[in-house]
Structure 1
Amino acid sequence: MSHLNEHGITHLRHVDLAVPDYDVQRRFYTETWGLTEVGTDGRLSYLAAEGSPEQYVIRLRGGDDKRLDLIAFGADSPASVDALAARLGSQGVQLISDPAALQTAGGGYGFRFFDIDGRTIEISSDVETRQHRAVEEGEAIPVRISHAVMNSDDPNRTRDFYARVLGFKLSDTLWGEHMGEMMHFMRCNDWHHSLAIARGPHTSVHHVSFEMRGLDEYMRGTGRVVRAGIKKIWGPGRHNAGNNTFSYFLDPSGNTMEYTTELEKIETDQWHPSVYDIADPMTQDVWGTADPMSELIARDSFNDPDKGVFVAPPV
């Protein structure tokens, strides 16, 4: 299908976070959020989604600093990995590592680099898949990682980097009269977005989203997290751009995590990105069940300035 990524990037694999409150976070992601710990290595925890063939979708690392360690994307072949590394190098992008055998769970072949905001990005192919299963009716646990949204103080520059250098395509944009372009939804496959760039005061994680089996499971999961006393920022509701449901929560470290379901698939190259005005209540929540988006809600997902900018993670 010609609308797939021109450089062979296939999908979002995992998001790796460093957290000072490692034990608290491990409990949150396993007991409350519904991920499965599939391995540990010292103060590293590998967390899988039961319905996903990925080895893990979140990696937690206990550390002094809260930071994004990296975002990992899959590639279709070692040749694509090599070609992309050469392309990035020729465009002046700072490589952290050259393509090589990976030492992480599932092995594979990949490399790391800094994106234009200083996030560590990994591209890999040939990672072994994990034994996974169909999530059953009524089972309110994540099926897979859906997308990652990152804050940038120059979201148009970041959008252009991912489009020009990595071949991501723009799906839609959110716009506000006072702030201009607020969020760009970017795709590397037929999901409406695997990555989005939000306007924020600094580089940081905006949110990480997890796909649930369906509406019932999404609502059951939302209720479970609410009952666990976790702060709900926004939702439940349904966005216009992407047509997906949303319930946003703050994890114990202050990173925003989302349950979603029914994210739109784009199955044509003839897609024309729309610009949605955030002042229109239908833009934010077509159901009208969530509180209107406000500065207070937005500020919760600005997060702390990321201490990992242009600093490669130790592992």
Structure 2
Amino acid sequence: MPQPVNPFADIAPITRADALAYVVLERRDVATQARFLHDFGFTAVEHSGPNVYFRGFGEQPYCVELIPSERDAFVGFGLVAVESGDLDRLGAAHGLAPAANSKPGGGRVLRLVDPNGYRVDLVHGFTPAKAHVPRSAIDNGNTPWAKKRVNDGVRAPLGPSPVRGLGHLVIQTPLFEQTVRWYMTNFGYLPSDLLQTASGVTGLGFFRFNRGDKPADHHALAIAFGPTPAILHISTETIDTDAVGQGQNYLRAQGWRHFWGIGRHILGSQIFDYWKDPAGDEWEHYADGDVMTADYPVGFHAFDRAGLWAWGDDLPASMRPAGPLPEAAPPVVREMVDALLAPPRPWLD
């Protein structure tokens, strides 16, 4: 592999978003999707109108908006601005004006469209929801060197994983560099880790919010090169590893379709568990993820699937390229597909 180079080091941001607020989905069967979200750990929000809203236990007024539709689709997502002037500054750069926000929480919203046609909102001034922490994290683990837990056991309740809110999104795009530059320019994302092929082409990037010396999650957005625009998964943060495990038990008991996990990622370090919703979209529970300040340097890694998780089962077949590629496929695409099809561990061939 050539000397790694950050192809996005020249980007000057217009604004710096601070948090992932919500996702917007169209659904043909809103009732079944709502039941899944409840079992996944969200709670319904009272609001008038045909659309349905769900929140976590954090301060975001809502995390998921369901729009009744004749199709199942990912519409887009919302980001939280640091200050009100960010909406005006970003709006001026695009010739747009912010508007009053009619969604739960109110405030103002500026609506953009990314290179893939996804709606991206920047919101500010909403009324925070009242947080309701369901339980404390279990952090009294015993090790061979320290026995914190004496005369006591670990008894995490069986039930939906309590989700604080949304953690990150992973989107696929055939317009990889254009999409990365669009998000970094408009919202100030910083690359945490870039996965590059043997010839030095970046095919997957993990991007965090720029909060200066305040830690931010390892990634709030991941962007992957792929043949068509798609949402690859929607991720939610829960309390601890036991919440991930008991949440899996509960979702299995309710009959939902398990997808991948439990395991631990390498880039981000999260304990993860993935599920499929009724429309086929992926949802992740995670706990114990890495956080970085703005001065954390960009990491460079081989573009393969071995680096995506440390332990647990291999990626499901549907997360890998279909292959084989047609002869006319560009060399860089062939390079990426071959890298992802290579067995990630000697015992996983």
Name 1:148's counterpart in structure 2: 169
CA contact (8 A) 1:8 1:77 kept: no
CA deviation profile, 1:241-286 (whole Å, cap 9, x unmatched):
111122111100111111111121102414223224425x3x1221
In 2, are the aligned partners of 1:55 and 1:129 still within 8 Å (CA)?
yes
1:208 maps to which residue?
A: 234
TM-score norm. by structure 2 comes to 0.75
- Report the Cα distance in structure 2 between the residues aligned to 1:284 and 1:102, rounded to whole angstroms: 38
Residue of 285, 292, 296 corresponding to 2:318? 296
Distance 1:180 1:80 in 2: 33
The 3-state SS of whatever aligns with 2:193 is strand
State, as a whole percentage, how many aligned pairs show the same letter.
Answer: 24
Deviations 1:84-107 (A, max 9, x none): 111233xxxxx5xx2122111111
SS for the counterpart of 2:187 is: coil
Q: CA deviation at 1:175?
A: 4.1
Paired AA for residue 103 in structure 2:
T
Larger radius of gyration: 2
Tell me, yes or no, if structure 1 residue 20 matches structure 2 residue 25: no
What is the rounded CA distance, in whole Å, between the counterparts of 2:83 and 2:28 in structure 1? 36
RMSD: 2.2
Q: Secondary structure at the match of 2:126?
A: coil
Correspondence for 2:53: 46
For 2:67, what is the secondary structure of its paired residue?
Answer: strand
What is the correspondence of 1:1-315 to structure 2 with a 5 Å cutoff?
A: 7-30=15-38, 32-50=39-57, 52-89=58-95, 98-137=97-136, 138=156, 140-175=161-196, 181-189=202-210, 190-279=216-305, 281=306, 283-286=307-310, 288-290=311-313, 292-293=314-315, 295-298=317-320
Change beyond 3 A, Cα 1:299–1:106: farther
| Alignment TM-score, normalising by the size of structure 1 | 0.83
Secondary structure (helix, strand or coil) at the match of 1:233 reads: strand
Structure 2 unaligned spans of 5+: 1-12, 137-155, 211-215, 323-349
Aligned in 2, Cα 1:42/1:270: closer, same or farther, shift over 3 Å? Answer: closer
- Cα distance in structure 2, aligned partners of 1:294 and 1:131: 38
Post-superposition shift, 1:179?
A: 11
Per-residue displacement from partner, 1:159-187 (whole Å, max 9, x unpaired)?
12112333211111234569953321111
Measured after TM superposition, the shift of residue 197 of structure 1 is 1.0
Cα deviation digits, residues 176-225 of structure 1 (max 9, x gap): 56995332111124211111112232112111000010111111112222
Cα shift readout 1:20-46 (whole Å, capped 9, x = no counterpart): 11111111111x211000124343111
Distance change in 2, residues 1:171/1:39 (3 Å): same
Aligned residues: 283
CA contact (8 A) 1:233 1:297 kept: no
* 8 A contact 1:53–1:130 mirrored in 2: yes
SS of 1:143 mapped into structure 2: strand
